[in-house]
Chains A and B, each alone.
Chain A
């Protein structure tokens, strides 16, 4: 018999795994918003594409269906390859989207650039919808049997894997933004693009980098989605994207640590509300949080770092 505390701890474990995925996805929103002050709706479906790329790589390695279970070096090799290819493909996709559809829109006032990202998102969504005949596809589960049970709280190996991947990527991004030359250029551009340009910052390169990094992380999140839920579908981008955006706003949009914190919180809120209220209302609860944050604390928990355009 599971005690209420064990149940809560189990949901916390699950929430942390979901939250890590949302955090990775939220980082992409926050990077692009911080620099261009643009909500990138294409990001929703770059994430979805990521899960399909991951699926294709794993299938190419012969890991199709959920009966194939790997151990040791082959497992690490397969997952690492899937992660790297997924991140690269999504990163390049993000850069191409920026280069060919958003760069021509730069400096155009109003919602035009946002509408363009909606169009791109819709194209990605429908291409996959048509290509997969709107079917959900099985996602391999090579870590299926390796679970740990601590006082009735099951921690699955793949949850640990998700934490490790997310932690490495998030720390890597944080260090990159803080320490590298390009990271410094990114922060400068986020504060004042015009001044950064005058100081010799190649703003186009900074924007490309932000799209590459954000989209690569979305790809990683897509792969994690597949591994976690053991399926993928053309429609997964929408609700995950909305949650991740809520996470970015909750943490403070434009703020890299904020996106991580927001992601974790949203993941926890989702599992807790599914457990203690009802799964069908989880979307409504998360959306209400978005509204409440926007109304009462629009700068988010850690403070928004939006560009200064007066």
Chain B
């Protein structure tokens, strides 16, 4: 597989302008109505694929009922711009008639209402309606793990066409809506001329493309990708995962809803079978083919599959049947290749997953290679030259972290038995203990990843139990994980910027509108992330654009610490930060942790290397089998008989 060469910004610009000119001039280059109709359908499928790409590609949520939102957008316009509903006329309708949304009809002497909602209003209107349905159906299930969403959306995708088939008074059932009004502009009705639809479709794709790209490159896009890579770590980094998943789901539904209105206005009819499962699968195949998470890939996949069905397969069909006639083969003459298009979709799905998972246009750009100099440069020590701990909270006498009677149970097993401890502000407290003694469970309980059975955890006087992981991070507690939970397919700098998620104020709307304040904030976040990486000298700075998965183990640990620091915590919790580091690296890191304390940070540390603990910790707590065995100064602990027995084994204790 040869990677697609990265284009320079200048060439990219030229390419885009060239492409735009060709697309705009297409009706002049090819005046054939049928071809323009195919092109207009390509725009509709591209818009659908862009929406699903946000859900599946960006946020990693498998949505198998996507066509349902397409249907909702389609029926919303279809019902509000046809003769389907004809409630009796009352004067109350007059104000809608005045603005042209309805008109008064007289059928067999009865005055009835005829809905004539304008197409241009229904484009955003349907997007909004579909997004509301997306929220209504996503909200109950998005709290759960991703897999369930697939099956729920599969069911939802089935239900919507069933409702459309059976709720005849609203939808005219299986026969479908007829006489849906075509759009009007400047007194001109689009009718059945494909050219205006083609231009409207192009405009919609352009809009959705812009929205997709801006969201992708914003804090929202980074948060989606963090959720896709590791939902637990995303929550621990301050991302409200449920809300962001719902946002992705709603935006994807909105894209589909808008496209539904466009598509129905073009066809001027809507039947339930236009929105069945095969449509959802087809859109999924489009983004898998193009590359999940890749905006241009979604469009390429959509155009390719549309053309496959409307041009390539019929052409191949004719060719094969013609060849069959030529050689007198009845089998070839009878062969209907066009009906095998769904079989081809299935083969594309499996083939892409097995052989080219990243799609034709991979979403992840190839990171720049390190120069030989950078690779062989001698390691330098960095310095912390930024206020990691902004003095926004006065340090009082109040203990920063106060744990009382904390009990955690896994089934019948007591992982922590009524643990009480306190961490004073500005201290480094180390927790040691054999494997399985409850150290990581303690960390998980403090950061909201496990729900304690009993007890209380108060931080600066505020109870943490019951808060979500992202809320706890916002209170000023950030952590690293024992088994490193970075976002492996994102770059080093993106990982650190995700650590700042909770501090960034600009939301998705600002990103879509491209507000200057949002851009300035992004730039500042990047500068700050680079400064944090600078803490580790030249170990990480030259690798800022590399994928985390390409880093050494020790460097991943460093990135995780930088990511935790990026949230500007008051309490930093490090779970075995020196694991996998050699002695020199461990001591280097220990000194850096010491420097963090000097900046006023409170640090809670799980560590196995006793020399690191002795060097750093003001206070040591020993856990064993969920009990607090001992606590005190490092030197005292080192001489404590009970600790030696538990930690080193009885035999060693008596040597």
Contact = CB atoms under 8 A, between A and B. Distances in A.
Contact of B281 (A37, A122, A239, A281): A122
Interface in A123-149: 123, 125-127, 129-130
Interface in B133-171: 140-141, 144, 146-148, 150-152, 154-156, 158-159, 162-163, 165-166
A245 B151 CA distance: 8
Given A39-B147, A294-B140, 12 more contacts: A38-B147, A111-B62, A113-B353, A114-B150, A115-B349, A121-B346, A127-B343, A130-B343, A238-B277, A283-B162, A284-B163, A290-B151
Minimum-distance CB pairs A-B, first 6:
A119-B349, A122-B346, A123-B346, A126-B343, A119-B350, A111-B62
A128 to B, nearest CB: 10
A110 B58 CA distance: 11
Interface string B510-521: 000000000000
A101 B354 contact: yes
Interface in B328-387: 339-340, 342-343, 345-351, 353-354, 357
B281 to A, nearest CB: 6
A287 interface: yes
Given A284-B162, A287-B159, A116 B354 contact: yes
Contacts of A110: 60, 146, 228
Given A118-B64, A118-B281, A111 B150 contact: yes
Contacts of B288: 115
A280 to B, nearest CB: 5
30 contacts: A39-B147, A39-B151, A110-B60, A111-B146, A111-B150, A112-B353, A115-B62, A115-B284, A115-B353, A116-B350, A116-B353, A119-B346, A119-B348, A119-B353, A125-B342, A126-B343, A129-B342, A238-B158, A246-B155, A249-B148, A280-B162, A280-B165, A281-B162, A290-B151, A290-B152, A291-B155, A294-B144, A295-B140, A298-B144, A310-B232
A250 to B, nearest CB: 12
Contact of A295 (B62, B141, B342): B141
* Binding site secondary structure of chain B: helix
Contacts of B346: 119-123, 125-126
B494 interface: no
Contact of B166 (A114, A125, A242, A280): A280
Counting chain B CB atoms within 10 Å of each CB, which of A122, A238, A284, A291 scores highest?
A122
B229 interface: yes
Interface string B30-62: 000000000000000000000000001000111
Interface centre among A121, A126, A130, by most chain B C-beta atoms within 10 angstroms, is: A126
A118 B284 contact: yes
Contact of B229 (A38, A109, A280): A109
Most central of A110, A119, A126, A283 by chain B CB within 10 Å: A119
Contacts of A72: none
Contacts of B155: 242, 246, 287, 290-291
B150 A284 contact: no
Contacts of B348: 119
A294 B340 contact: no
A287 to B, nearest CB: 4
A171 interface: no
A119 B165 CA distance: 27
Contacts of A281: 162, 166
A150 interface: no
Interface size classification for chain A = 35 or more
Contact of B357 (A108, A127, A239, A295): A108
A105 interface: yes
A104 interface: yes
A63 B351 CA distance: 39
B147 A123 contact: no
Contacts, number: 117
B162 A101 contact: no
A291 B229 contact: no
Interface of B: 56, 60-62, 64, 140-141, 144, 146-148, 150-152, 154-156, 158-159, 162-163, 165-166, 228-229, 232, 277, 281, 284, 288, 339-340, 342-343, 345-351, 353-354, 357
Contact of A116 (B64, B146, B349): B349
B438 to A, nearest CB: 14
Contacts of A246: 155
Contacts of B351: 119
A120 B148 contact: no
Contacts of B349: 115-116, 118-119, 122
A115 B284 CA distance: 9
B354 A242 contact: no
A112 B346 CA distance: 14
A103 to B, nearest CB: 10
Given A39-B150, A104-B354, A295-B141, A122 B342 contact: yes
Nearest to B61: A111
B140 A122 contact: no
Interface in A240-286: 242, 245-246, 249, 280-281, 283-284
A119 B347 contact: yes
A34 to B, nearest CB: 13
A105 B353 contact: yes
Contacts of B61: 111
B234 to A, nearest CB: 13
Contacts of A298: 144, 148
A193 B152 CA distance: 27
B353 A37 contact: no
Nearest to B341: A126
Contacts of A287: 155-156, 158-159
Given A111-B56, A111-B62, A291 B152 contact: yes
B282 to A, nearest CB: 10
B156 to A, nearest CB: 7
A123 B354 CA distance: 15
Contacts of B56: 111
B284 A294 contact: no
B287 to A, nearest CB: 10
A63 to B, nearest CB: 31
Contacts of A294: 140-141, 144, 148, 152
Contacts of B277: 238
Nearest to A126: B343
A291 B141 contact: yes
Nearest to B137: A291
Contacts of B144: 294, 298
Nearest to A295: B140
Contacts of A280: 162, 165-166
Nearest to A248: B151
Contacts of A123: 343, 346-347, 350
Interface in A218-251: 238-239, 242, 245-246, 249
B89 to A, nearest CB: 33
A169 to B, nearest CB: 24
B293 to A, nearest CB: 10
Contacts of A39: 147, 150-151
A290 B140 CA distance: 11
Nearest to B349: A119
A210 B159 CA distance: 31
A126 B340 contact: yes
B225 to A, nearest CB: 11
A238 B276 CA distance: 12
A127 B288 CA distance: 21
Nearest to B440: A310
A52 B277 CA distance: 23
A108 B56 CA distance: 15
